[in-house]
Structure 1
Amino acid sequence: MNEYLVLSKEVKEALAEGVPVVALESTIIAHGMPHPQNVETALAVEKVVRENEAVPATIAVIGGKIKVGLTCEEIEYLGEKGPEVIKVSRRDLPYVVAKGLDGATTVAATMFIAAMSGIKVFATGGIGGVHRGGEKSFDISADLQELARTNVAVVSAGVKSILDIGLTLEYLETYGVPVIGFGTDEFPAFYTRKSGYKVHITADTPAELARIIKVKWDLGLKGGVVVANPIPEEYSLDYEEITRAIDSAVLEAAEKGVRGKEVTPYLLAKVKDITGGKSLEANIQLVLNNARLAAKLAQELSKL
């Protein structure tokens, strides 16, 4: 095993025995939600994965060690430190590990570590994408390039609607990343099931999803898959309301000069304030929903 990589006993045994494993990111703990909801949600997500007969593997860097399968104490530690923990994408891993620092992994970093560990399925909230105005600023999440190169299926509620959804889908198409709508032909926009953009591949069962993904990799088509799993209907926010909230937050961020990897946490916090906390509850519910589907997908892939 890689000298920098530490797998928990449970994860190591599960992988050795062919038991389904689901990777989980840690940015949502340190940067995505306030304390204590961040810790409560992380533990609830792990519980949902277990209830659906898979092993959760929350990933982070603790003291310079890349950990796959955190303890409850380590999750609490990240949640309490919050934004003090470095937000780690692929480019940041060498620095954080070499310096012996703590890091919360983004979608890109979690995908990379999951693949290095032998984990094929990863559940998150929403993937990163092309930011609004990205055709001029080139502000494009590293998540998209990771999806183009790394063989991991990512179950998400689409992309955060603070992004340019159309450009994000075009980027994924250019790099040959399949976007599969689970039970829908409309690409979800994180807080809401609506976006106005269609997907060209759909699947109605975890078994169908697994077959599509397995064939992709069997054909030697490198790269990940986006499983677009809409937020449950009862938690979906009104499309017009969330669009207004996001537009307002984006304008304020631009006026204040918020840039780079600080943009997303800033916008999410503003949208939470504008919606009176409804966006936070939606965020929690969609993550739980994605974890449920990811566990079922990992089960089906383990049978093939």
Structure 2
Amino acid sequence: MLVVSEEVREAIDAARPVVALESTIIAHGLPRPRNLEVARELEETVRREGAVPATVAVLDGQPRVGLDEGHLERVANEDGVRKLGHRDLPLAVAAGASGATTVSATARLAALAGIRVFATGGLGGVHREWTLTQDESADLGLLARTRITVVCAGVKSILDVPATLQRLETLGVAVAGFGTDRFPGFYLSDSGHPVDWTLDSPEQVAAVMRAQDELAAPDSALIVANPVPEAEQLDPGLHARVLSDALRACAERGVTGQAVTPFLLDHLVRHTDGASLSANLAAVRGNVRLAARIATAWTKG
């Protein structure tokens, strides 16, 4: 059922570096035609670092790990491409649906294919006012039972960051800052919260991955929190002001459930004149580069 492209399969079989990439940013995170340009750019970034890109999606009910140009164009341009978490995968397969994969679905399918390193922008997490809404991203539970290394820029700053870090600790998911002892805040280099561990090189990350295997540790992810460079982050003052306005607008309009995150992210893009989107892309690019270097260090071990 899982279709792995020939290029990706050959790289896995030959123990060459492979990096999984999600497709939600292509279908739902960027406007056309910018989305296709970014998809190609991210794959090329992986290749420049000597690794093989494996963008993940479901097309016509077939989970695919590794997309060709035609597949990328479909994800970017086709109307009706759904947004799929890991819980949606069996439904999409049975229905013959097409969908872009979120963090949880991408991690699940990449791990099934034998890929160990995955690059994304920011993780989902515990939502604000969780005690009232019980709203928590499916990313966390899936990462608690999937052996994969996820390079990200922390969690989206619209979430409850300290609660998310606490939840990851409870679930036994390891978190390390890359070159920092601060947890990044997606658009921001520093969310205002510390991390317990710092890793300073791709080789150190790969050493942790090997130790996970040698210790027969439970199948949970390693989160490598890679901050967006300060020069490319969203201005912290602007971020705080616009996010506060966005949260107030969300409450006033009665936006709830799954509609909250896209509402807040859209508000940030519009009211920062696109600066939040620029910071988002800067974070993704950096994460993809780092993930390729980690995958290379991993295969050399």
Short-chain TM bin: over 0.9
Which whole-Å CA distance do the structure 2 matches of 1:78 and 1:260 have between them? 25
Change (3 A) 1:254 1:214: farther
Which whole-Å CA distance do the structure 2 matches of 1:30 and 1:254 have between them? 27
Gaps of 5+ in 1: none
Measure how far apart 1:265 and its partner are: 2.2
Which whole-Å CA distance do the structure 2 matches of 1:36 and 1:268 have between them? 19
Name the counterpart of 1:190.
Answer: 186
Name the counterpart of 1:125.
Answer: 121
TM-score (norm 1): 0.96
SS in 2 for 1:195: strand
Counterpart amino acid of residue 151 in structure 1: R
- From 139, 143, 147, the equivalent of 1:151 is 147
Which whole-Å CA distance do the structure 1 matches of 2:278 and 2:83 have between them? 23
- Residues 222-255 of structure 1: CA distance to partner in whole angstroms, max 9, x if unpaired? 2001100000222111212112212222222233
Q: Which moved more, 1:258-267 or 1:32-41?
A: 258-267
Aligned length: 300
Name the counterpart of 1:215.
Answer: 211
Name the counterpart of 1:279.
Answer: 276
Name the counterpart of 2:227.
Answer: 230
Name the counterpart of 2:72.
Answer: 75
Contact 1:31-1:265 at 8 Å conserved across structures: no
Q: Which moved more, 1:261-270 or 1:230-239?
A: 261-270
TM-score (norm 2): 0.97
Name the counterpart of 2:173.
Answer: 177
1:13 aligns with 2:10: yes
SS in 1 for 2:71: helix
Name the counterpart of 1:35.
Answer: 32
Q: Which moved more, 1:124-133 or 1:213-222?
A: 213-222
Name the counterpart of 2:252.
Answer: 255
Measure how far apart 1:147 and its partner are: 1.2
Percent identity between matched residues is 50
Gaps of 5+ in 2: none
Name the counterpart of 1:267.
Answer: 264
Counterpart amino acid of residue 46 in structure 1: E
- From 82, 88, 98, the equivalent of 2:84 is 88
